[in-house]
């Protein structure tokens, strides 16, 4: 049976990160066409070439989600290549030139602000683009351990939901319900499945939020014993 994801055009930011790559792979396997954005253009091109070799459809475009013009460029590139944009998935990451420094107490707060700002910039850009089409779906993914960011994005999404609904644009937040052990492969796979579930719903269904938590399986516990 064909998936509701099949043939959808999905823009993914940041597709070069672990979660973004997992989302892209999972969606391409279900027949989606993807536009890969992020701050590592070499890796994005590698992924796009790999997906094309396996029969998928993908393009790559350098785009920092904290910079509105670059997000607009990615959305325009996806529309030009595939004719439209059905979904934008945003996974906030700091820009490549973010000034990391050990022991700087200001960094966690600054990083959280950049995460939230990136998601908001990307959402505003996608809303403007999708309004012209009269339909669309925006999915924001909160980072692991980012409960404060998830709460901020949840509140902000509720504020813009009414207008988005009027424009027939769906909005979903995917977030861990509690701090987890980091963005490892299992976390990335969980996020990918959650995103696919949200965008695979029928047109009349809008999944507002997906809160998930990872649990230890018997197999994992046995392997550690």
Q: State pLDDT tens for residues 104-146.
A: 444 444 445 556 777 888 888 999 999 988 899 999 888 776 6
Query: Does residue 1 form part of some domain?
Result: no
CB 170 within 8 A of CB 138: yes
Global pTM reads: 0.85
For residue 28, give the nearest of 69, 75, 62, 60 by alpha carbon: 60
- What's the DSSP call for residue 210? E
Query: Does residue 2 form part of some domain?
Result: no
- Interval 27-73: pLDDT, tens: 999 999 999 999 899 999 999 999 999 999 999 999 988 888 999 99
Query: Does residue 198 form part of some domain?
Result: yes
CATH value at residue 48: 3.40.50.720
Query: Does residue 3 form part of some domain?
Result: no
Total domains, the chain: 1
Q: Which residues make beta-bridge pairs with 138?
A: 88, 171
Query: Does residue 91 form part of some domain?
Result: yes
Q: Which domain holds residue 135?
A: 9-224
CB 88 within 8 A of CB 122: yes
Distance in angstroms (rounded) separating the CA atoms of residues 122 and 72: 8
């Amino acid at each position: 049976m064909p998936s509701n994801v099949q043939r959808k055009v999905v823009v993914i930011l940041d597709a070069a990160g672990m979660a973004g790559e997992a989302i892209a792979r999972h969606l391409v396997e279900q027949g989606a066409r993807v536009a890969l954005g992020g701050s590592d253009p070499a890796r994005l091109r590698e992924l796009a070439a790999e997906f094309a070799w396996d029969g998928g459809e993908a393009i790559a475009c350098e785009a920092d989600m904290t910079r509105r013009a670059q997000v607009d460029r990615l959305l325009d590139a996806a529309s030009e290549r595939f004719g439209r944009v059905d979904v934008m998935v945003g996974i906030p990451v700091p820009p490549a030139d973010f000034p990391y420094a050990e022991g700087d107490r200001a960094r966690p707060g600054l990083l959280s602000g950049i995460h939230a700002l990136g998601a908001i910039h990307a959402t505003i850009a996608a809303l403007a683009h999708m309004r012209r089409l009269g339909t669309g779906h925006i999915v924001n993914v909160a980072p692991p351990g980012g409960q404060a960011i998830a709460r901020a994005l949840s509140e902000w999404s509720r504020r813009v939901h009414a207008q988005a609904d009027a424009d027939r644009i769906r909005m979903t937040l995917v977030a861990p319900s509690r701090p987890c052990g980091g963005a490892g492969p299992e976390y990335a796979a969980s996020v990918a499945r959650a995103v696919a579930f949200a965008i695979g719903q029928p047109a009349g269904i809008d999944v507002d939020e997906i809160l998930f938590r990872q649990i230890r399986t018997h197999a994992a516990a046995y392997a550690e014993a």
